[in-house]
Each structure stands twice: as C-alpha cells, then as structure tokens.
Amino acid sequence: MGILSLEETPILQALIRLSQKNRQPLHVPGHHLGRDLPPLFADWLGPAARLDMTELPGLDNLHHATECIAESEQLAATHYGSGRCFFSVNGSSACIMASIYAVVRPGRQKVVLVGPFHWSVWRGVEMAGATPLVFPSRFDRESLLALHPPVDSVRVALAGYTDIAAVVITSPVYAGIVAPVADWVQLAHEFDCPLIVDEAHGPHFGLCSSLPPHSVSHGADLVVQSVHKTLPALGQTAWLHVSGRRVEEEAVEDALLRFTTTSPSYLLLASLDVAQAWLRTEGAVIASRAVATLGLFDEMHGLSRDAERMDGLRRWWPIGNAAAALHLERLLEAEGIFVEYVDPSGALFLFPYSVRVRELERLGAVLDVWRPANDQRDAKLLDALRFVSERHVNLVVGKPAALTHTKRRWCRARQAMGQLAARVVVPYPPGVPILLPGERIEPGHVEALICLAELDRIPVGSRVGQAGLELSILAD
C-alpha cells in the first residue's frame, strides 16, 4: 500500500503546476484565482481559490477526458475493478438520472424500481420518458426501516415481461443496510437488462474486511456512488461505474452530458482525484481503525452489527415517536452534536474516520439521558410508516413524463384524500418520496406527512398554508 502523495493525484498535480505558472489569469471563473473575491469569503477559501480554474492547457476536459482527468478516472476504476469510472460534479443525482436515461430505448421502456428509492431515480424515469414498475419496500417493525422486498417476489411478478430497460435498487439504504446485490444482478440479467445500483452511501465499501463489499464486486452493471457522502471529499462529488457488456460506455457518457454542467468546478475534480488516491493508499487502514473504534459504541449500547450487511461507519437509532425524536434532537443540539437526520422513525449518526472515543462517550451520555423517558413507540405513527413503505403504488398515468404539464392546484392535505398527487412529495433527508405524481392520496399518506410537518419537517413538494399542510393535486 502506497502513501497518499502528489504522485497519486494527476488532477491536483496538474492544477498546482498550472497555478504556479498562471501569473495573469484572463479566464473564468470571475474571481480570477481569488484576486477579486470579497475578503469575507476569500479568507475562508484561502489558497484553494488558486486551484479553481477552468479547462486550461494541461487540465483536460471532463466531458472529453484524455489527460489528467482520464488518468484519475482510470485509477478509480482500477481500485473498484469496474470497466470505466466517470467523475461527476453534480452528485449522484446526475449519475442516477444519466444511468436510467442511457438504458431506456425503444422496445425497452420499463424501469423496475425496487424498495426505497431516492427522488433522483424518479426524475430519471420521468426524463427518460419511461414507465416505472414500482415494487414496494418491506417495513421492518423492529428497526422501523423500509427495506428491500424479497428477490423472488419481484421475479414472480415480472414473469413474461420482455421490455424491461433496467432494474434499480438502492444499496445500502440510507441507514446503512445492504441488499443482496448479487441476487439482484442475477434477476436483472434473467430479464436481459442491466442492474443499476444506487450505492450513493457506499463508496467506502470493500475498503477493508470490516465493511460490506461494494456492488461492482457483485457484478452490477451500473453503480453510482456519492463520493462526498462517505469519503473525505467535497460536497457534490460522485462517480459512476460502468462494467460488463450490457451498457455501452458511450451511451452513459452522452447521457451524463445532459445532466451535468459544462463548467465543472476544478476544486471538485481535485477532490475526486484525492479521494481515489486516498482509497488506494491510506484509506483501508484509516477505515478499519474507525470501524474498530465504533465497536465501542456498540458495546456501550448493547448493539450488534453484521459486517456483511451493515455499514460500519453509521448507526441507526430507531425511535418511532415524533415527540421523542424532537426531544433527542434538542438534547443533541444543546451539546453541539449535529447528526445526519432525526425524524419520527429514528436518528442516523454518520461517524467521521477520525472518530474519537470521547466523542462516542459524549453522544452516549446524551442518549442515556434521553432514553428512559422516551422508549414508547407510537402505534399510529408505526402504521403510517408501514403504510408509506409498503403501499402498493397505483399510478393512474403510467408514464410520469405525461404529467409534467398537466393542470394542478393546491389543496389542504386532509381534503386531498382520494385525489391524485401532482408532485413528488419527499421529506429531505432521506429523500425517499412519500407520494408520487399520479398516485391516489390515501389517509396513510396524509397521516405520515402531517406527522412530519408537526416536527417542522415540511416535505419538499408540499407547502404550509394558513390552514396547515397543503398538497398539490391534479386539477379535474
């Protein structure tokens, strides 16, 4: 294993070289290597502003990579064992939309969505003009999580279909639970289509034996990873792996162009570059040390973790009670602890690689204060959570794209029952839609949404009017 040095990072190296030569910047970005940045911000950004350049000689072009960007992408692909790795400065969202867009074509217009899926999956289906086949999640009453349905149930339901463009799964789900990806690969291939894995939360997978393997190693055709989520990298960084022969690299490259800026930030590209080098050098040692330290958290709270099925760097704390969730959030904030999210179903803690024992103790102390008075689960809330996870999505209009320009109006949530939703309604985080356009609004949707609104978590796609929560419905 090498050490993380400039030798391992072709993009950063090229940027540093050029910034040393660049004495008179007459190009974008408009801050001109930081010279024109207002000091209020320049002081925070520091020397990094000198690296925020554009497609100058030697810096390659993200959309036609042949030099340092291509070299860095190749190093990332080699680390994972994928056929090709494309860098993204538009997060996993762009990669997911591009993946779906790349595989939908005449004769292959149906996209199978399995279990909980991120909002961008829906947008991908909509923009590709595809028809979704939605397979609901299985609600686990113990962990209060929406998990993947059994592979065989989907296999049986799909029997006879010959026009499937792709199967899409999310693994791991936000809380860190991994799907049996190899089984989903097999299923997709039985239908002669690729498996797209939204592995936004798993770019660190496979780094050491105490973490689950990544989906490329299971044979998934397209794997999307948010580098910024779990590797030491800047916000918005992500990459997309293409493997095998089912998907043409060129189709993916073309599709990515549709969803990506033509002015990618070189700070983000440098960050992707450093992330791939970190993975190949010191990452394994650092990750396994962090996972081991987190074992103490499990000991403190009597938890157990299956290393094959659960992320080692995050912990999910099920709650199942809106008031208790709010109470926990307040106690944590009072201690200066800000977690990934807290909602009525539970709290999600994402630990840094540099996690310290005393930080675990501080978090543990808050949990110990909170726990005795907050162990009652709210049965009504649990029913609502189960409903939104396991609901059978009955879309009145098969192609989401057909609804884009239809007339709509706002309506009080309770009066919207029985109407058809006009917009995706999605609490963020976790970004998993509760209502989809064209879906009939049922009491379970409304209960779940009102519960979130009471916690001040107004789901994206809804709004609060004078009389409370409102939903957008299709006008008659």
Query: Which residues contact ligand PLP (rule: CB under 6 A)?
Result: 91-93, 96, 118, 120, 170, 174, 198, 200-201, 226, 238, 429-431
Cα distances (Å, whole numbers) of residue 461 to 275, 427, 472: 34, 9, 8
The smaller minimum CB distance to ligand PLP, of residues 124 and 312, is found at 124
Closest CA to 235 of 244, 248, 247, 226: 226
The smaller minimum CB distance to ligand PLP, of residues 323 and 393, is found at 393
Straight-line distance from the first to the last Cα atom of the chain, in angstroms, rounded to the nearest whole number: 64
The smaller minimum CB distance to ligand PLP, of residues 13 and 170, is found at 170
- Provide, rounded to whole angstroms, the least separation between the CB of residue 462 and ligand PLP: 19
- Provide, rounded to whole angstroms, the least separation between the CB of residue 230 and ligand PLP: 11
Residue nearest to ligand PLP (CB): 91
- Provide, rounded to whole angstroms, the least separation between the CB of residue 380 and ligand PLP: 27
The smaller minimum CB distance to ligand PLP, of residues 238 and 328, is found at 238
- Provide, rounded to whole angstroms, the least separation between the CB of residue 395 and ligand PLP: 21
Closest CA to 319 of 394, 408, 382: 382
Exposure pattern of 294-303 as b/e (b: 16+ CB <10 Å)? beebeeeeee
What is the rounded distance in angstroms from the CA atom of residue 91 to the CA atom of residue 383? 33
- Provide, rounded to whole angstroms, the least separation between the CB of residue 328 and ligand PLP: 21
- Provide, rounded to whole angstroms, the least separation between the CB of residue 225 and ligand PLP: 9
Closest CA to 159 of 184, 196, 190: 190
- Provide, rounded to whole angstroms, the least separation between the CB of residue 350 and ligand PLP: 11
Widest Cα–Cα separation across the chain: 66
- Provide, rounded to whole angstroms, the least separation between the CB of residue 50 and ligand PLP: 26
The answer to whether the beta carbons of residues 111 and 105 sit under 8 Å apart is no
The answer to whether the beta carbons of residues 351 and 290 sit under 8 Å apart is yes
Cα distances (Å, whole numbers) of residue 147 to 116, 159, 169, 175: 7, 22, 11, 10
Closest CA to 191 of 167, 224, 168: 167
DSSP 46-114: GGGGGG---S-TTS--GGG--SHHHHHHHHHHHHHT-SEEEEESSHHHHHHHHHHHHH-BTTB-EEEEE
The smaller minimum CB distance to ligand PLP, of residues 201 and 445, is found at 201
What is the rounded distance in angstroms from the CA atom of residue 68 to the CA atom of residue 51? 15
The smaller minimum CB distance to ligand PLP, of residues 8 and 343, is found at 343
Q: Per DSSP, which regions of 226-335 are E strands?
A: 238-242, 314-318
The smaller minimum CB distance to ligand PLP, of residues 37 and 348, is found at 348
- Provide, rounded to whole angstroms, the least separation between the CB of residue 121 and ligand PLP: 8
What is the rounded distance in angstroms from the CA atom of residue 79 to the CA atom of residue 313? 20
3-class secondary-structure state, position 456: coil
- Provide, rounded to whole angstroms, the least separation between the CB of residue 453 and ligand PLP: 21
The smaller minimum CB distance to ligand PLP, of residues 9 and 225, is found at 225
The smaller minimum CB distance to ligand PLP, of residues 264 and 430, is found at 430
Could you tell me the two tokens for 459?
Answer: 């789901």
